[in-house]
């Protein structure tokens, strides 16, 4: 998947808020398959995925200590809580948590799974990064609604994670996720005021006079307003 091209396209179209849906494995007993988690932190264990728009003549360092938009996360949590309460399906909504993102496509080894649990990870998936990093560089607010499908392979009393089990739970929760997003979208504020809104302000380290014209033109949708 070309994460960078996708996020650049969204920025070019004027997108300001991004809700990501991610099937994840649970690293905690109380996050059961079928539960929803509005995460607030990520650990990046990916490699080989371009994770920045910068380089080649322009350097920028954005703040990423709090990678999730608190505004969007609150909206997602409220929408998910209301939808789950109305549905009565037994799912639970968890606010906050750390998402470790791995390359895949293989699932973790048992040793890796236990290691992540010792690190305090709450869920594990393969898609949130570098999306979240690129969204921040593009000054787009980003939040993830994680859909728990299994217990990864750390839970000894559960069967080892399989594609069949993951797909079955994903299908069960697909409608729920769509309905949560529909509720959330209605509540997104018209004015984009969030931690991502001015993420590039003061973050571009290269003297504008030394940025090649070709690079400036290529990144115009992202850096244009900061280089005037």
Q: For residue 173, what pLDDT is reported?
A: 81
- Name the nearest CA neighbour of 163 among 22, 2, 1, 25: 25
Q: Which of 30, 40, 150, 207 is catalytic?
A: 150
Say what percent of the chain tops pLDDT 90: 84
Question: At 92, is the secondary structure helix, strand, or coil?
Answer: coil
Q: Is 207 a catalytic residue?
A: no
Which residue segments constitute the domains of the chain, with CATH numbers given? 3-8+17-207 (3.40.50.1580)
For the entire predicted model, the pTM comes to 0.93
Mean pLDDT on 114-141: 97
CA angle 148-154-45, nearest 5°?
70
Question: What pLDDT digit, counting tens, does each position of 154-201 carry?
Answer: 877 655 556 676 677 778 788 889 999 999 999 999 999 999 999 999
Whole-angstrom distance, CA of residue 46 vs CA of residue 39: 18
Question: What pLDDT digit, counting tens, does each position of 42-71 carry?
Answer: 999 999 999 999 998 999 999 999 999 999
Q: Is 74 a catalytic residue?
A: no
- Name the nearest CA neighbour of 32 among 108, 109, 84: 84
pLDDT of residue 9 exceeding 60, the answer is yes
63 and 45 in contact (C-beta within 8 Å)? no
Whether omega before 105 lies within 30 degrees of 0, making that bond cis, reads: yes
Question: At 37, is the secondary structure helix, strand, or coil?
Answer: strand
Whole-angstrom distance, CA of residue 47 vs CA of residue 183: 35
Mean pLDDT on 60-86: 97
27 and 113 in contact (C-beta within 8 Å)? yes
Cα distances (Å, whole numbers) of residue 43 to 19, 100, 120, 185, 214 = 18, 5, 11, 27, 33
Determine the length of the chain.
228
Whole-angstrom distance, CA of residue 55 vs CA of residue 213: 14
Q: Which of 35, 40, 44, 152 is catalytic?
A: 152
Whole-angstrom distance, CA of residue 145 vs CA of residue 10: 19
Task: Look over the chain and give the mean of its residue pLDDT values, rounded to a whole number.
Answer: 93
């Amino acid at each position: 998947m070309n994460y960078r091209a996708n996020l650049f396209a969204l920025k070019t179209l004027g997108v300001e808020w991004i809700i990501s849906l991610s099937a994840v494995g649970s690293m905690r007993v109380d996050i059961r398959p079928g539960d929803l988690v509005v995460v607030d932190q990520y650990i990046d264990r990916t490699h080989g995925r371009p994770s920045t728009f910068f380089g080649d003549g322009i350097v920028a360092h954005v703040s990423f200590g709090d990678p999730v938009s608190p505004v969007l996360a609150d909206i997602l949590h409220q929408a998910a809580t209301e939808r789950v309460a109305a549905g009565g399906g037994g799912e639970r909504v968890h606010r906050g948590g750390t998402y470790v993102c791995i390359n895949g496509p293989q699932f973790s080894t048992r040793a890796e799974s236990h290691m992540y649990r010792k690190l305090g990870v709450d869920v594990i998936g393969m898609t949130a990064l570098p999306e979240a990093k690129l969204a921040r560089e593009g000054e787009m607010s980003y939040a993830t609604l994680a859909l728990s499908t299994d217990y990864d392979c750390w839970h000894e009393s559960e069967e080892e994670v399989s594609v069949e089990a993951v797909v079955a739970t994903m299908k069960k929760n697909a409608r729920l996720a769509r309905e949560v997003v529909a509720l959330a979208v209605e509540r997104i504020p018209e004015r984009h005021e969030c931690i991502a809104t001015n993420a590039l302000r003061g973050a571009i380290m290269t003297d504008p006079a030394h940025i090649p014209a070709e690079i400036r033109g290529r990144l115009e949708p992202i850096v244009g307003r900061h280089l005037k």
